């Protein structure tokens, strides 16, 4: 199946509107695509105890996983920053564990037409995994 990266980027941009980021005011949206074509979005949620903040990618992943979804083939991440937001190390680890074969699409919310493409394995080579 050819992945529609533009459509997934748009879903991430829509999910971004749900960001709860009163401290950084840095809104991030993510959208996961399953093999069967389902899309699950998520956005970052921040805490006054800053370290408890959860990134958009992990919110989307946890939503999808706890709804029983598996077989992720792509994830898109959008925020307003030049070149788009690269996933942090913690998110790369979780994506590597639960979306190992996924493509990763990144875009600046101010320029959704310019999309950078990676794979999860490229973003976290030689990862720590117990179940391969
Ligand atoms: N953030 C994400 O949502 N994804 C990332 O990969 C990196 C950072 C969020 C966390 C925090 O709410 C805000 O961006 C600023 O760090």
Beta strands in 1-132 (DSSP E): 28-34, 39-43, 72-79, 103-108, 111-119
Q: Which atom of ligand 1 is nearest to the CA of 23?
A: 12
In short, whether 21's Cβ falls inside 6 Å of ligand 1 is: yes
Q: Domains (ranges, CATH) in the chain?
A: 5-123 (3.40.140.10)
In angstroms, rounded to a whole number, what is the distance separating the alpha carbons of residues 31 and 55?
Answer: 12
Q: What is the residue-level pLDDT of the chain in tens, covering all 132 positions?
A: 689 999 999 999 999 999 999 999 999 999 999 999 999 999 999 999 999 999 999 999 999 999 999 999 999 999 999 999 999 999 999 999 999 999 999 999 999 999 999 999 999 999 999 976
32: DSSP letter: E
CA-based nearest residue to 29, from 104, 88, 80, 94 = 80
Q: Which atom of ligand 1 is nearest to the CA of 56?
A: 3
In short, whether 56's Cβ falls inside 6 Å of ligand 1 is: yes
For ligand 1, mutation pick of 15, 22, 42, 44 (most atoms within 8 Å of CB): 44
Q: Say if CB 85 and CB 109 are below 8 A apart.
A: no
- Nearest-CA residue for ligand 1 atom 14 is 26
126 an active-site residue?
A: no
- Per residue in 90-111, pLDDT (tens digit) is 999 999 999 999 999 999 999 9
- Per residue in 73-93, pLDDT (tens digit) is 999 999 999 999 999 999 999
> What global pTM score does this model have?
0.98
Distance of CA 71 to the CA centre of its chain: 15
For ligand 1, mutation pick of 85, 90, 107, 109 (most atoms within 8 Å of CB): 85
Which is the catalytic residue, given 38, 57, 97, 122?
57
CA dist 17 → 71, 98, 114, 125, 128 (Å): 26, 25, 20, 31, 33
């Amino acid at each position: 199946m050819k992945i529609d990266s533009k459509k997934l980027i748009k879903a991430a941009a829509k999910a971004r509107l749900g960001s709860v980021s009163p401290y950084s005011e840095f809104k991030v949206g993510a959208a996961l695509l399953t093999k069967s074509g389902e899309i699950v979005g998520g956005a970052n949620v921040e805490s006054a105890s800053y370290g408890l903040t959860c990134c958009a990618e992990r919110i989307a992943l946890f939503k999808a996983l706890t709804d029983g979804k598996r077989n992720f083939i792509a994830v898109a991440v959008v925020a307003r920053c030049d070149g788009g937001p690269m996933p942090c190390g913690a998110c790369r680890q979780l994506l590597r564990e639960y979306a190992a074969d996924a493509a990763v699409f990144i875009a600046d919310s101010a320029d959704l037409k310019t999309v950078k493409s990676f794979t999860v394995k490229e973003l976290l080579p030689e990862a720590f995994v117990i179940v391969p």
